Structure formats: structure tokens, C-alpha cells
A = this chain, B = another copy of it.
Amino acid sequence: MTEESPAQAPGTVRPGGRTARTRAAVRDAVLTGLSEHGYPGLTVEYVAEHSGVHKTTLYRRWGGVEGLVADALDLAGEDSWTPPDTGSLEGDLRALAHEVVDTFGDPSAAAAPTAFVAAAFQSEQAARALRAFYGERFARCGTMLDRAVERGEIPAGSDGAAVAGAVSAPLFFRAFVTREPLDAAQADQAAAAALAAVRAGAYRPARPR
């Protein structure tokens, strides 16, 4: 648990530690509720009961279920995750793909991200938070490409966030659209395809064709 004070709505500032603990407790209750009941079944009452934070406080600080879900996503984005660093771009992309497959292969790890993706179909606020979450997450992957350029593996200029998205996209697509199973072979294929596309310059700024 961090002692950082999150951004507060005016008039709700409290000592940093207590605020952060409250926010984390609320976030935990939101994640549990999403995992157990999904977005359509999540209620402010449920979060109040499972966080120990009074319902009126939840309404005042988060506005309602949409705000609670969006803030849980904001908080998820404040973690210290860094992209893989295996010594080669091929290894990094493969490790990244396997992280995605491992997450969706573990029901307890998959529950929260799945619920967030589902919530975004019904809540514009959740959709905005999801866009911000993945935007920031994939931006961190720029370092993978920077290192590959430094090692002389690829020319400079590819969009690292686009490459990270390209590795993830076919795996999320199977999990959430075509509803096909995910396995290690899928991860390897996603990484190999993204690497080939990087090498072909598909993620460099568009040129006239």
C-alpha cells in the first residue's frame, strides 16, 4: 500500500495515508465485486459493505458505480509494471505475449481485466479510464524498442506503443471477441507476427504509398 495522496475532489482532502488506504480498500471491493458479479451486478451498496466505507462517502467522492470502476482502473495504472527485458527484441515480445496469455489462463488473474473490458461496453467513463490505462501501459513499452535500436536490431522510428498493442491484440481478440482458447503457441505466434511487422516497418510513421 502506498502513502501517496491521490488526486482529490475539492473539499475531500484528508491526510495522505488514510486517504490512500480508503481508496485502496474501495478499489479492492470494486475488484471483488466486478470479479464476482460483473459490471451489471456491481452496486454502491456492495462496495460499501465490502470496503467498510459508508455509502454516502462513496457517492460523494466517486459519484457512483461508474466513478468507482474508473478510479479502480486509474489506481491499477499506478503500479510499477515494466516491460520484459530479455536481451533481444524477439525475447521481449515473446515474454510480453506470454504475460498476456498467463493472465487470461488464470481465472483469478483474468477476472478483473475481463470485468473492466466488459464495463467499458456499458460505461463511457469506464471506457475512458480503460483507454488511459492501456495508453499509459503500452507507452511504457517504448523502452523495449529503444533497447532494440541501441543493440542495432532494428532501425529507429517504430512506435513502441503500437508494437506492444500489436503483440497484445490477437490475444485479447481471441479472449474477448472470437472466444477461442489461448495457449503458449498463440503467444509465440503473436510475438513472431509483431516482430516480422516491426522489421518490415509497419509501425514506423506512415509514408505515401
State A40–B178 Cα separation when bound (angstroms).
20
Copies in the assembly, this chain = 2
The answer, among B122, B131, B193, B202, for a CB contact under 8 Å with A38, is B122
The answer, among B114, B118, B130, B170, for a CB contact under 8 Å with A166, is B170
In contact, A188 and B176 (Cβ under 8 angstroms)? no
Task: Say how far A193's CB is from chain B's closest CB, in angstroms.
Answer: 4
Chain A 191-205 interface mask (CB, 8 Å, partner B; 1/0): 011111101101100
Residues of A135-152 contacting chain B, CB below 8 A: 135, 138
**Number of A residues whose C-beta is below 8 Å from B?**
44
Task: Say how far A15's CB is from chain B's closest CB, in angstroms.
Answer: 35
State A1–B165 Cα separation when bound (angstroms).
41
In contact, B165 and A170 (Cβ under 8 angstroms)? yes
State A173–B173 Cα separation when bound (angstroms).
6
In contact, B165 and A178 (Cβ under 8 angstroms)? yes
Task: Say how far A122's CB is from chain B's closest CB, in angstroms.
Answer: 7
In contact, B40 and A179 (Cβ under 8 angstroms)? no
Residues of A82-135 contacting chain B, CB below 8 A: 114, 117-118, 120-122, 127-128, 130-131, 134-135
In contact, A121 and B38 (Cβ under 8 angstroms)? yes
In contact, A131 and B166 (Cβ under 8 angstroms)? no
In contact, A179 and B120 (Cβ under 8 angstroms)? yes
Residues of B within 8 A of A29 (CB): none
State A108–B209 Cα separation when bound (angstroms).
31
In contact, B120 and A121 (Cβ under 8 angstroms)? no
Provide 6 A-B residue pairs closer than 8 Å at the C-beta atoms, listed in order of the A residue: A40-B40, A117-B121, A131-B178, A165-B170, A189-B203, A192-B202
